[in-house]
Amino acid sequence: MAERLLKFVSIDAQMPNKREVAKRTGDFHEIYAEFITQKANEQASRCSQCGVPFCQTGCPLQNNIPDWLKMTAEGRLEEAYALSSATNSMPEICGRICPQDRLCEGACVIEQSGHGAVTIGAVERYITETAWDQGWITPITPPRELAEHVGIVGAGPAGLAAAEALRNKGYQVTIYDRYDRAGGLLIYGIPSFKLEKVVVSRRIEHLKASGVTFVQNYEVGRNGTLADLRAAHDCVLIAIGVYKARPLPCPGSDGEGVVEALDYLTASNKTGLGDYIPAFESGALNAQGKRVVVIGGGDTAMDCVRTAIRQGAAKVTCLYRRDRANMPGSAREVSNAQDEGVVFEWLAAPKAVHATSKGVTGVLATRMRLGEADSTGRQASEELVGGEFDVPADLVIKALGYDPEPVQTLFDEPALKVSRWGTIRADAITGETSVQNVFAAGDIVRGASLVVWAIKDGREAAEHMHQAMRKQARQLGEAAQYAAQRDVTLKPASF
Ligand SMILES: Cc1cc2nc3c(=O)[nH]c(=O)nc-3n(C[C@H](O)[C@H](O)[C@H](O)COP(=O)(O)OP(=O)(O)OC[C@H]3O[C@@H](n4cnc5c(N)ncnc54)[C@H](O)[C@@H]3O)c2cc1C
Ligand code: SF4
């Protein structure tokens, strides 16, 4: 079968076809088409099957990439799916939205040797979409039902991955979430042109069919406390993500017409799902016909600029204080945004937002330059004297990142230790917090990160919750056995 591999010398790297700019910016559908079978086999066959698979180390889940690429090249797709899903709870989602250029594909040996990486993410998506189409993904039927109940707060990727892993082992799982739909940022943050919502809801339906209970519109801090959840469950997992938007420290940044990125994206996603959103209908969270300025350079900023283009903005400008090479967002998403007509002002930072009684009129920005690198190697950005310029705007979107909400207050539990950044302090290996039988996973532990890391954390926390619950069950069993023996010993002999 070796002749089916190592084709990177004769076959070029190729992503699935991208829809033409004019067509894709007119709707919110995903921009990449599905690989056809022949293309997936061909692209998988480019893998060099190198001795040390750097792609695997570049993947946070340590996916066994070379083996499932080999199986795909050989047409053994059911086996490829079994292998890829053994380490990843949502391979079709990671295949779509992981920043592969910074993870598996960035580490691929043939990428490093200048041949262009194997398109790992696209093949992973293809394998799992085939599994769904062929009916290989069926509801979970655990080997035996266990008595223990687990409560998970947060139905984002960390909570969902943990729920799946725990249900596989037979635990009774309930997920609580403050939103009306499950999925966390997969449903209300990330736009459909990167991840269609049916892909997320299919996973939720799968978990429901597997016996996981979802309690929506339940907010810890409003509807209950951590003590309530601990009383109702044997173990609790906190996977609530981070939602406190970082402020824009300049005059005018809280005025009318200046909005938070997640408010804007959530309104757009909800509208796409058929909900009536007054702030979208009124225009407050709708970019149609407006000159839009987005401030920030991460994934969230890229999602905002591209959403604004699709809503029919008159012009979309992105202001970022560093240069393109230092943008934290995926390079692939930045070039997609450029292709779609977004204007990038790199090395530019806002100094003030100007407004009249009618709303925002523009942003006063200044040119920056990169200075000395700090101890982490990152160059600080410094203002250039006399570099001020105006960017006209009718809508300004702040996309500067997110910090945790005050969890000790929300969960009414001062014993729940947090770091100085407000993230929950959890054991790096087990995910256990300072409160017994309470674990934490995902962004609320790491700070704003990636879906693939949230999945990894959720799976690992689930494994350690399982170990903790089995240990407690054994101890209870031993105690009961001991008590029974004592009972027998102490019982007066009956004559
Ligand atoms: C706009 C945007 C775009 C992104 N794009 C990408 C991308 O392309 N690729 C990528 O890998 N990552 C991306 N990310 C990051 C990624 O979405 C997160 O790292 C990931 O979703 C974190 O998962 P999580 O489960 O920890 O938290 P979340 O997905 O945030 O889920 C947390 C859940 O907890 C619920 N919750 C919060 N507080 C409470 C409470 N008190 N009570 C009950 N429920 C509560 C929330 O409603 C939510 O459903 C993006 C992030 C944003 C904001
Ligand atoms: S999970 Fe993400 S990083 Fe890992 S192989 Fe898939 S696309 Fe690459």
Q: Is the pLDDT of residue 1 over 50?
A: no
Ligand nearest to the CA of 127: 2
Mean pLDDT (whole number) for 373-395: 89
pLDDT at 489: 56
Higher pLDDT, residue 484 or 172 = 172
pLDDT at 33: 82
β partners of residue 402: 245
Q: Tokens standing for 27?
A: 């709707």
pLDDT at 411: 95
Distance CA 198, CA 178 (A): 20
Nearest-atom index, ligand 2, CA of 455: 1
pLDDT at 491: 55
CA 4 to ligand 2 center in whole angstroms: 23
CA 241 to ligand 1 center in whole angstroms: 5
Mean pLDDT (whole number) for 169-198: 98
**Residues 218-258: pLDDT tens digits?**
999 999 999 999 999 999 999 999 999 999 999 999 999 99
**Range 115-119, long-range pairs (CB < 8 A, 24+ positions):** 115/8, 115/9, 115/13, 115/46, 116/8, 116/12, 116/13, 117/13, 117/55, 118/8, 118/13, 118/43, 118/44, 118/46, 118/47, 118/55, 118/69, 119/13, 119/14, 119/15, 119/16, 119/43
pLDDT at 93: 98
Name which of 349, 354, 348 is nearest 255 in CA terms: 354
Q: What percent of the chain has pLDDT over 70?
A: 97
Name which of 23, 15, 31, 30 is nearest 121 in CA terms: 15
Query: Pairing relation of β-strands 379-392 and 359-373?
Result: antiparallel
Q: Whose CA is nearest to atom 4 of ligand 2?
A: 59
CA 188 to ligand 2 center in whole angstroms: 22
Mean pLDDT (whole number) for 47-62: 91
Distance CA 203, CA 224 (A): 27
Taking the model in full, what pTM does it have?
0.94
User: What is the helix (H) or strand (E) element at residue 246, kind and residue range?
Assistant: none
Mean pLDDT (whole number) for 151-171: 98
Q: Which residues have CB under 8 Å from 480's CB, separation 6+?
A: none
β partners of residue 244: 403
Q: Of 15, 35, 61, which is best to mutate to test ligand 2, by the most ligand atoms within 8 angstroms of its C-beta? A: 61
Confidence label for 340 from pLDDT (cuts 50, 70 and 90): very high
Question: Which amino acid type is present at position 147?
Answer: A
CA 187 to ligand 1 center in whole angstroms: 9
**Order of strands, edge to edge, in the sheet holding 348-356?**
348-356, 359-373, 379-392
Q: How many residues in total does the chain contain? A: 495
Confidence label for 373 from pLDDT (cuts 50, 70 and 90): confident
* Structural contact between residues 158 and 454, judged by C-beta atoms closer than 8 angstroms: yes
CA 56 to ligand 2 center in whole angstroms: 8
Q: Of 32, 55, 64, 124, which is best to mutate to test ligand 2, by the most ligand atoms within 8 angstroms of its C-beta? A: 124
**Residues 440-452: pLDDT tens digits?**
999 999 999 999 9
